[in-house]
Amino acid sequence: MDKYKVLYEKLNILKEETELAILKINNDNMQEYLNIYKKNVLRLMILTNNKTIGDSEGALLGVFRAISEYDDLAAIDSLYNSAYDVENYYSNECKQF
């Protein structure tokens, strides 16, 4: 399967999990943080869809760190796992598209 397509699908799952997390979190500041995070995920989705996202060369996108730094967000397993899945796939499978 096309690496761009796989990455796009993983980013889409992350976007959906972010939307669910926004509904679960009762903290206005954290909801705002997640809205900004979602915009960044959408930006990555556009880059991936346009096939303009760069090769990872083993690097990360930063989507996992943004979740793992906050205990309230890291406690949402589906969000945490989908962010990890994106980072792992991009870093290991997208070294070259």
pTM as predicted: 0.95
Per the CB < 8 A criterion, the answer to whether 24 and 30 are in contact is: no
* pLDDT surpassing 90 at residue 79: yes
pLDDT by residue (tens digit) across 19-63?
A: 999 999 999 999 999 999 999 999 999 999 999 999 999 999 999
Q: How far apart are CA 90 and CA 96, in angstroms?
A: 10
Of the candidates 4, 2, 1, 15, the one whose C-alpha atom is nearest the C-alpha of residue 63 is: 15
DSSP string, 42-76: HHHHHHHHTT-SPP-TT---SHHHHHHT-HHHHT-
C-alpha distances in angstroms, 42 versus 29, 55, 64?
20, 18, 15
